[in-house]
């Protein structure tokens, strides 16, 4: 069903291309088979497994997880796949297998960079979901791994591969709204309280030691696994990296900027009194010299939409405005606010969907990764590009946690003259689990 819908989406007039029109002896040639392992298969990872297994001449040979229920989800997602995957619980053992080509990572955030480095070091190409690191240091470490091991590493900011947004970015760069100087992004959801967790014995279905991996050890509480680790700094990165990455990345892409000169953040945990540590409400601002800026508004616990959408972005220029709905649709208005162009999609963005807010449009990004492995394309979001957007999200979190304005080096984004903030550039790792390149 996912596959059929994708074929429908792929033929959108706005896209102007059909990426499933393969030559007979192209991607289906036996020598072009790409074999994958999926690590982290509770929800998003199970979806990735199902999607990748439907691509031409792609097999999922392994799934990897440390929790029995998640493993069951991964196996269920692949029940109709021609190949039954082998289950490996320890990613360190998984990457040592020599019969697959690429590792797909949908583990908790604190595992993203360590797992990606393990994969690349063992000769695997890597698709790693956003964010590509738990902290700014990890983005730099992952780029170092790419350079050392010469493997492809694609980040899962799927909008970079949507044909309509590629078209929209080109139009903005070509001047359709004049000088694009300001961008605004937002995310709104209706997340409930996670309550106050109780310290309880680790369930027998979970290898909590391996789940924590590189993170400093904490006691197991009953409101942590599977999803609520997102809101705890020891393992997660908050809504900024969880969802802000996507639209902040689009803003940076459309404006054509790299590293900021100044970052500020306002907000807090306002909606509930519970174990949630990261902000549920946040407004972050990024300045790029005195020429361009970006803002991102997050409301994790109030779903009131902006421009009729739960997520999206707006690009402002001196001759017009572009408005995106969080997915592949966009509108362009002239300087008098008259609608001059509108591109629609059959797939609507759903900000509340924790598996895939953009549905089958994600397939474009999956195809781009596989085609790049085959040498038939180049990555739309290599780590050299994706990590710049994730860095903005990390800087927003650091500004929020320190209560300070960050002044940054425009050459690499490093924080200047702020010792408290600079301490958060890198995390502390559990002894023996440090990621090393």
Tell me the mean pLDDT in the region 406-411.
98
- The residue extents of the domains of the chain are 2-158, 160-195+222-352+383-422
Is CATH 3.40.50.720 the classification given to domain 2-158? Answer: yes
Q: Output the furthest CA–CA distance in the chain (Å, rounded).
A: 63
pLDDT at 153 over 90: yes
Tell me the mean pLDDT in the region 396-425.
98
Question: How does the average pLDDT of the chain come out, rounded?
Answer: 93
Q: Could you read off the pLDDT of 200-213 as tens digits, one per residue?
A: 999 999 999 999 99
Residue at token pair 């690429």: 102
Q: Could you read off the pLDDT of 11-65 as tens digits, one per residue?
A: 333 333 233 333 334 556 666 899 999 999 999 999 999 999 999 999 999 999 9
Helix (H) or strand (E) holding 46: helix 44-53
Residues 6+ apart with CB under 8 A from 402: 418, 420, 421, 424
The pLDDT of residue 28 is 61
Lowest mean pLDDT among 13-22, 190-199, 344-353, 421-430: 13-22
Is CATH 3.30.360.10 the classification given to domain 160-195+222-352+383-422? Answer: yes
Rounded Cα–Cα distance for residues 96 and 305 (Å) = 46
pLDDT at 1 over 60: no
């Amino acid at each position: 069903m996912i596959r059929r819908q994708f074929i429908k989406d792929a033929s959108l007039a706005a896209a102007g291309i059909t990426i499933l029109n393969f030559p007979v002896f192209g991607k289906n040639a036996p020598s072009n088979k790409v074999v994958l392992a999926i690590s982290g298969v509770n929800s998003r990872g199970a979806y990735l497994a199902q999607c990748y297994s439907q691509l031409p001449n792609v097999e999922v040979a392994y799934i990897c997880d440390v929790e029995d229920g998640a493993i069951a989800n991964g196996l269920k997602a692949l029940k109709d796949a021609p190949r039954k995957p082998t289950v490996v619980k320890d990613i360190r053992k998984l990457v040592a297998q020599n019969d697959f080509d690429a590792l797909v990572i949908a583990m908790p955030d604190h595992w993203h960079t360590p797992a990606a480095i393990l994969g690349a070091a063992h000769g695997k190409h890597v698709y790693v979901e956003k964010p590509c690191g738990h902290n700014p240091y990890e983005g730099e470490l992952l780029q170092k791994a790419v350079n050392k091991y010469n493997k492809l590493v694609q980040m899962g900011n799927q909008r970079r591969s949507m044909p309509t947004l590629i078209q929209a970015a080109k139009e903005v760069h070509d001047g359709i709204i004049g000088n694009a100087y300001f961008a605004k992004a937002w995310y709104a959801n209706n997340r409930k309280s996670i309550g106050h967790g109780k310290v309880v014995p680790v369930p027998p279905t979970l290898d909590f030691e391996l789940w924590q991996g590189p993170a400093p050890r904490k006691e197991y509480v009953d409101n942590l696994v599977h999803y609520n680790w997102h809101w705890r700094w020891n393992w997660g990165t908050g809504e900024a990296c969880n969802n802000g990455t996507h639209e902040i990345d689009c803003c940076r892409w459309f404006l054509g900027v790299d590293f900021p000169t100044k970052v500020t953040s306002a907000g807090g945990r306002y909606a509930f009194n519970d174990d949630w540590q990261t902000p549920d409400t946040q407004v972050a601002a990024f300045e790029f010299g005195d020429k361009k800026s970006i803002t991102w508004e997050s409301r994790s616990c109030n779903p009131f939409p902006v421009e009729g959408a739960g997520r999206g972005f707006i690009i402002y220029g001196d001759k017009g405005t572009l408005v995106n709905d969080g997915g592949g649709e966009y509108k362009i208005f002239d300087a008098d606010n008259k609608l001059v162009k509108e591109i629609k999609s059959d797939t609507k963005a759903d900000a509340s969907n924790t598996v895939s807010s953009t549905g089958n449009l994600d397939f474009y990004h999956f195809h781009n990764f596989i085609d790049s492995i085959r040498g038939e394309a180049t990555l739309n979001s290599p780590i050299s590009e994706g990590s710049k957007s994730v860095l903005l999200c990390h800087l927003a979190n650091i500004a929020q946690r320190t209560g300070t304005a960050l002044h940054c080096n425009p050459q690499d984004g490093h924080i200047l003259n702020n010792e408290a903030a600079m301490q958060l550039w890198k995390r502390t790792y559990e002894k023996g689990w440090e990621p090393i390149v």
